[in-house]
Amino acid sequence: MSSNIYQKYQNTFEQSQIFAGLDKSFIIDCLKHSEIKLFRRGQYLLHQGDKPRYTAFILSGNLITLRSDAHGNEIIIRLLEAGETCIEAILFPHSISSPISVKASRSSEILCIPAPYIEHICLKNNLFSRNLINVLAFYYRRAMQQIDSITMQDAERRLGQYLLQCYLESGHHEHFELSFRKTDIARYLGMSPETFSRTLKNLQKQYINVENHDISLNDQHALCCFCTPESAVNCHLIEKCPSHTITAAVVSKRNPQF
């Protein structure tokens, strides 16, 4: 039973940060203590203000984490793919109210790992708690980048960086597609859907070709001008890249004080 599920999603487990390095028996034990739920598009896993009961691991589909204010305005914090987790940060310390909502952006199979079990394996398994620390640290750093880019970069740079990231995550395919609705990507990048649309049109003139949700780069290096130290890490064309040498120079210019 759990074994079947393990095999079906083995790749997803192995490539995830949260289960990295953990063996089959650990994951199967985790599956036995958890529940798999199906969420349809637009359905909520958690509402702002609720107390979370489990951590969500995406087996398939996409989730969105968001915050909304009293006027109903929404801002999207994260766009999640299979193998990612959310609602980890809200379990610690337990019994706090959630500052975010989580909803499915398309039909998604979610592994719901109960909060008490998470606490249990945190204490029992050092590798798991180490993984959890890595995950939290990773998303915390990503949040810093978001703050940075929202305050210091204009809409075009933000969108360009996002597209570059999609390109790199697609495995350097010059043709890829957006996994989320444009409205959601817009809110994730801190801009209105209208601005998103206009900005994409501008980029189209210079770097890319857009057809609905399909993006094609004019050439391999089309988006290189949007490279950052963070995205450079995931790029395996660095050596040949004209703009990377510049980026690298800027970063290494600074010297440690001690």
Partner DNA sequence: CGGTTCCTTGACGCATATCAATCTGTGTGG
Partner DNA sequence: CCACACAGATTGATATGCGTCAAGGAACCG
How far, in Å, CA of 171 to CA of 159, rounded? 19
The alpha carbon of 138 is separated from its chain's Cα centroid by a whole number of angstroms, namely 10
Check residue 182 for interaction with DNA (CB under 7 A).
Answer: yes
Check residue 209 for interaction with DNA (CB under 7 A).
Answer: no
Q: What, of DNA, a second copy, none, does residue 4 touch, CB below 5 to 8 Å by kind?
A: none
How far, in Å, CA of 92 to CA of 21, rounded? 23
Check residue 114 for interaction with DNA (CB under 7 A).
Answer: no
Q: What, of DNA, a second copy, none, does residue 168 touch, CB below 5 to 8 Å by kind?
A: none
Check residue 190 for interaction with a second copy (CB under 8 A).
Answer: yes
Q: Where does this chain touch a second copy (CB under 8 A) — which range of 26-34, 119-127, 198-206, 210-218? A: 119-127
Nearest CA to 122 out of 15, 7, 22, 36 is that of: 22
Nearer to a second copy, 7 or 43 (CB): 43
Check residue 156 for interaction with DNA (CB under 7 A).
Answer: yes
Q: What, of DNA, a second copy, none, does residue 45 touch, CB below 5 to 8 Å by kind?
A: a second copy
Q: What Cα–Cα distance (Å) separates residue 242 from each residue in 67, 218, 222, 233, 249?
A: 39, 16, 11, 16, 12
- Shortest distance (Å) from residue 38 CB to DNA: 15
Written as six digits, the tokens of 209 are 């070709």
Check residue 18 for interaction with a second copy (CB under 8 A).
Answer: no
How far, in Å, CA of 1 to CA of 18, rounded? 22
Among 7, 192, 220, 245, which residue sits at the site for DNA (rule: CB under 7 A)? 192
Q: What SS3 state is found at 235? A: coil
Nearer to DNA, 115 or 200 (CB): 200
Check residue 38 for interaction with a second copy (CB under 8 A).
Answer: no
Check residue 32 for interaction with a second copy (CB under 8 A).
Answer: no
Q: What, of DNA, a second copy, none, does residue 202 touch, CB below 5 to 8 Å by kind?
A: none
- Shortest distance (Å) from residue 123 CB to DNA: 42
Check residue 123 for interaction with a second copy (CB under 8 A).
Answer: yes
Query: DSSP alpha helices (H): ranges in the chain?
Result: 2-8, 10-15, 24-33, 115-124, 126-152, 155-169, 182-188, 193-206, 229-232, 244-252
Phi-psi region of 101 (alpha: psi -120 to 50; beta: other; left: phi over 0): beta
Among 1, 23, 25, 70, which residue sits at the site for a second copy (rule: CB under 8 A)? 70
CB atoms inside a 10 Å sphere around CB 198? 13
Nearer to a second copy, 150 or 220 (CB): 150
Q: Where does this chain touch a second copy (CB under 8 A) — which range of 6-14, 145-153, 177-185, 202-210? A: 145-153
Any idea what DSSP says for residue 90? G
